[in-house]
Copies of this chain bind each other. A is one copy, B any other.
Amino acid sequence: MNEPEMNTEQKILDAAKDVFQQKGMTGARMQEIADKAGINKALLHYYYRTKEKLFEKVFNIAFSIFIPKMQEIMLSEKPVFEKIDFFIENYMDLLTKHPYIPGFVINELNRNPQILVNIFEKNVQIKENKLFEKFDAQIQAEVQKGIIKPIDTRNLMTNVIGLIVFPIVARPIIQGIMFENDKKQYDVFLKQRKDFVKEFIINSIKA
């Protein structure tokens, strides 16, 4: 398509993203990334000196894709029900565009949890604790007002994210067992699932 116009650095990042996300850090081969980028392997090392540095870059880009929208939604002034609606709507769309990222991130973090620490060190602007505290305060305020049932914020957040992410991460097994490996059927399932998850959560927490 537009390959000849892209600069080498971007071609490398695109190729590396594909290979790393499909095969993981340990399974990826520098030669394959070079081939997919249409360049020499030496050139790969010219731009990103080591495999680890290239991996780190790819991982950070992947991770960053899911952070800004979360902050935006959680810090907005909407009531909790609307925030949850918004969150599900936005992240299910985002996952449709980037289905391999969650599995990639989860897997690499299990392999080496230290990666997260490095990310936090470099991105000082992500003050997760403040983010959580503010959202928690809102939840407990709405509990007081009788809008939602008494609920633990961490459990609620885990549920919302889990219900969105799990069917993407575990796609091969769910699609294989419950959908006879029918890809199209599973895509339809995921699309319809948006409203299901919204209802499921709201039903459960509304007072």
Chain A residues with CB under 8 Å of chain B are: 22-27, 100, 103, 105-107, 109-111, 113, 116-117, 120, 128-129, 132, 149, 152, 154-155, 157-159, 161-163, 165-167, 169-174, 176-181, 189, 193, 196-197, 200-201, 203-205
Residue of B25, B113, B120, B159 near A163 (CB, 8 A) is B159
Contact A107 B107 (CB under 8 A): yes
Known: A116-B172, A162-B162, A162-B167. A27 touches B111 (CB 8 A): yes
CB neighbours of A172 from chain B (8 A)? 106, 109-110, 113, 116
In the complex, the count of this chain's copies comes to 2
Contact of A178 among B113, B132, B181 (CB under 8 A): B132
| Bound Cα distance from A25 to B23, whole angstroms | 10
Please, could you name 5 A-B residue pairs with CB atoms under 8 Å apart, sorted by A?
A: A103-B110, A106-B172, A113-B172, A116-B172, A162-B162
A157 CB contacts on chain B under 8 angstroms: 178
Chain B positions within 8 Å of A117 at CB level: 176, 181
Is B113 in contact with A176, judged by CB distance below 8 angstroms? yes
Supply 17 further A-B pairs (C-beta < 8 A) apart from A103-B106, A106-B173, A113-B176. A23-B111, A24-B26, A103-B110, A106-B170, A116-B176, A117-B176, A117-B181, A128-B177, A129-B180, A149-B203, A154-B189, A155-B193, A159-B197, A162-B163, A162-B170, A165-B170, A169-B169
